[in-house]
Amino acid sequence: MTPAEHCPDFDFQQGNWRVQHRRLKARLAGCTDWEEFPGICEQRPILGGNGNVEDNLLHLPSGSYRAIALRSYAPSSGNWAIWWLDGRAPHALDTPVIGRFERKVGSFYAEDVLDGAPVRMRFLWLRTETPSPRWEQALSADGGASWETNWTMDFERA
C-alpha cells in the first residue's frame, strides 16, 4: 500500500446509521438481564482513509450521551487500533483494542481492568459485507479461554 492508498477495511461503515444496542446490565457477574436502547452514529474517514471517527449518540434508559470511536491503521503491521472516548468522561481515552480484518471479520483485543481485576477485551465486527453489520464486545476473566459477550450493536443505514 502506497501512502496515497488507504485501507478499505472500515469503508463498509462510512456514513449515517441507526443503531440498536443490546447490553448486559452487569459484566462478568453471571448476569443474564439485557437492556436494549437505540442510537445513531456517523462514521467518516480521517488520515487519508487510514483512520476514521465514529460519532455516536446513545439513548440509554438512564439518559443519553455522546461518544466516539477513533480508529487508526498502521500499514507497517496491518493492524488497526481502536480507542473509545465517552462524553461522560471527556479526558479519558479507553485502552485501545488492536487487531485486523480477516475474511470480512474484524477481531480486536486488549488487556484491560474491570472492577480492579485484569480482563481481556475483544471487539468483533461481523456481517461487514451485508447492509446490516454487527459489532460485539466481550470480556474474558480467564485470559481468553472463555468469553462473555456483553454488548452488541446492530447497524441499519439511516
Q: Tens digit of pLDDT for each residue in 75-133?
A: 999 999 999 999 999 999 999 999 999 999 999 999 999 999 999 999 999 999 999 99
Residue 132 to residue 12: CA distance in whole angstroms: 10
pTM: 0.94
Burial class (CB in 10 A: 0-12, 13-18, 19+), 111: exposed
Q: What is the mean pLDDT of the chain?
A: 95
Residue 152: closest CA among 14, 24, 16, 10: 24
Q: Tens digit of pLDDT for each residue in 61-76?
A: 999 999 999 999 999 9
CATH code of the region 11-26+33-157: 2.40.128.20
Q: Tens digit of pLDDT for each residue in 32-63?
A: 999 999 999 999 999 999 999 999 999 999 99
